[in-house]
Amino acid sequence: MIAPIALPHVATSPAPDHAMPTPGSVPPARLVVLHTARLVGRDLVRNRWLLSSALGFALVTELLIRLGGDGLRIVASLVNVVLAATPLVSAVFTVVYWHVAQDFVALLLAQPLRRSAVFAGVALGLVVPLAAAFVAGVGLPLVVHRSIDRDTARAAFTLLGCGVALTATFSGLALAIAVRSADRVRALGAVLALWGLLAIAYDGVVLFITTRFSDYALERPLLALAALNPIDLARVLLLLEVDRPMLLGYTGAVLERFFGGATGSILAGSVLLLWIVVPMWIAARGFARRDL
């Protein structure tokens, strides 16, 4: 029986008992993951911060639609929002929630459950509602106003896909930091620093290299640099959708040839996936070794 004592927003008796094992036996990991994810998710959908982030996305999208402009223009304006906001929101939210849920996790671990399963459940329960909040916030206004037509559907889907990937990535990074630090404020600081590093400072370095060595053919090294940073990779993928006329210079041709082909798409997809899997794995390892 899981008591909801640790969770401020969970109503009494949230979980029916049928999924949980009888005392003494170890339940299958899959069940534990799903059940934990459901508990965390159910708690999160009632969380006002998550709701306000969804509302925030919806508000921005609605505003862009009302300010006028066709589908592609809205998507183009949303690119900046998505690249900056989704990593920040998901990272900060994850750290805060992890610390709020400490007692709940401790209680779960008091049961005969595997740590990896519990962690996977919590991570899943975090990422899915976060991603859903983003998709609903951005997607609903677009659907309601019918701003997306056949020509812009690809760009819109790329936008949503990149947003979801970035949400998962930064949730994972935040978990990797949070499980290693008992101090919530320090973890928050570390997460913000990481965001600043990947979202801003990294591009500063790239910009410096590009302008400093502009006499050289930099396209390929730049491509590699962009692929190493999830935000940059998402940005480049989105650029190819929304700034096509701009990108028809030599740089654009290199990009187009790379990401237009099968190798490039598969590589981009795998790098984004790696950026989700690796941080999560690091976080899981940290959690497994942690002395609770």
Partner 1 sequence: MASLALVATVLPAIPIDQCAAQTYAREDRTFVVSSAGPYTRIADALAAAPAHATITVRPGRYREPTVIVRRPVTISGMPGAELDGEGARELLVVAADSVTVRGLTFRNTGRSQVEDRAALRVTNALHCTIERNTFIDTFFGIYLAKVEGCRIHANRLTGPAGSQMLTGNGIHLWSSRDVTITDNVIRRHRDGIYFEFVRHGAAIGNESAGMHRYGLHFMFSDSCRYERNRFVENTSGVAVMYTNHVVMRGNDFSRNRGPAAYGLLLKEISDSELHDNRFRDNSIGLHLEGANRNQIAGNRFEGNGWGVRMMADAQDNLVEGNVFARNTFDVATNSRSSTSTFRGNWWDRYRGYDLDRNGRGDVPFAPVRLFATVATDAPATVLLLRSVLVDLLDLAERVVPMITPEGLVDAAPLMRTPQLRLVAATERP
Judged by CB under 8 A, which of 132, 222, 268, 284 binds partner 1?
222
Q: Which of residues 175-214 bind partner 1 (CB under 8 A)?
A: 199-201, 203-204, 206-207, 210-211, 214
Cβ within 8 Å of residue 209, ≥6 positions away: 218, 221, 222, 225
Q: How far is the CB of 277 from partner 1 (least distance, A)?
A: 25
Q: Is 97 helix (H, G, I), strand (E, B) or coil?
A: helix
Reading the block at residue 217, the tokens are 């053919």
Neighbours of 196 (CB within 10 A): 12
Q: Which is nearer to partner 1, 8 or 196 (CB)?
A: 196
H-state helical runs in the chain: 29-44, 48-66, 71-100, 102-110, 115-144, 150-178, 184-196, 202-212, 219-228, 230-242, 250-260, 262-289
Query: What is the distance of C-alpha 152 from the center of its chain?
Result: 23
- Could you give the CA distance from residue 119 to residue 88 in angstroms, rounded to a whole number? 22
CB 58 within 8 A of CB 141: yes
Q: How far is the CB of 134 from partner 1 (least distance, A)?
A: 17
Q: Which is nearer to partner 1, 113 or 255 (CB)?
A: 255
Residue 142 in the binding site for partner 1 (CB under 8 A): no
Residue 12 in the binding site for partner 1 (CB under 8 A): no
Query: What is the distance of C-alpha 120 from the center of its chain?
Result: 15
Q: Which is nearer to partner 1, 44 or 233 (CB)?
A: 233
Q: Which of residues 57-76 bind partner 1 (CB under 8 A)?
A: 69, 73
Q: How far is the CB of 160 from partner 1 (least distance, A)?
A: 17
Residue 56 in the binding site for partner 1 (CB under 8 A): no
Reading the block at residue 22, the tokens are 């009888």
- Could you give the CA distance from residue 102 to residue 97 in angstroms, rounded to a whole number? 9
Q: Which is nearer to partner 1, 19 or 200 (CB)?
A: 200
Dihedrals φ, ψ of 42, to 5°?
A: -65, -35
Residue 80 in the binding site for partner 1 (CB under 8 A): yes
Total residues binding partner 1 (CB under 8 A): 38
Q: How far is the CB of 40 from partner 1 (least distance, A)?
A: 30
* Most distant CA atoms of the chain, gap in Å: 70
Q: Which of residues 234-263 bind partner 1 (CB under 8 A)?
A: 235-236, 238-239, 243-253, 255
Q: Which is nearer to partner 1, 1 or 224 (CB)?
A: 224
Q: How far is the CB of 223 from partner 1 (least distance, A)?
A: 8
Point out which residues bind partner 1 (CB under 8 A). Answer: 69, 73, 79-80, 83-84, 199-201, 203-204, 206-207, 210-211, 214, 218-219, 222-223, 226, 232, 235-236, 238-239, 243-253, 255
